[in-house]
Amino acid sequence: MDCKKREELTGDYLTGGLETGKKAEFEEHLNACAACKGELELFSRTWELMDAYKTPELSGDFTPSLMRRIRAEGSAEEPENGLGQWWKVPAMTLASCAIYLLCVETAILPSRDGAPNSPATEGSVTLADMLKEGRDSGGLDLLELVAKGGGK
Partner 1 sequence: MLAFKDGDDDRFVELVEALKQRVFAFAFRFLGNAADAEDAAQEVFIKVYNARDAYVPSARFTTWLFTITRNTCLNLLEKRKKTSSVSLDEMLPGPDGPPARQLADSKDVPPAELALDKELASAVKEAVDSLPENQRTAVLLCRYSGLSYDAAAEVMGCSVKAVKSVLHRAKTGLKEKLAYLLKR
State the residues that interact with partner 1 by CB under 8 A: 10-12, 14-15, 17, 42-43, 45-47, 49-50, 52-59, 62-63, 65-67, 69-70, 73
Tell me the one-letter amino acid at 11: G
C-beta of 64 vs 90, nearer to partner 1: 64
Dist CA 6 CA 31 (whole Å): 12
C-beta of 45 vs 152, nearer to partner 1: 45
User: Least distance to partner 1 from the beta carbon of 44, Å?
Assistant: 10
User: Least distance to partner 1 from the beta carbon of 21, Å?
Assistant: 19
Residue 103: φ, ψ to 5°: -65, -45
Contacts made by residues 43-46, CB under 8 angstroms, sequence distance 24+: 43/10, 43/14
C-beta of 26 vs 130, nearer to partner 1: 26
Q: Which helix (H) or strand (E) holds 2?
A: none
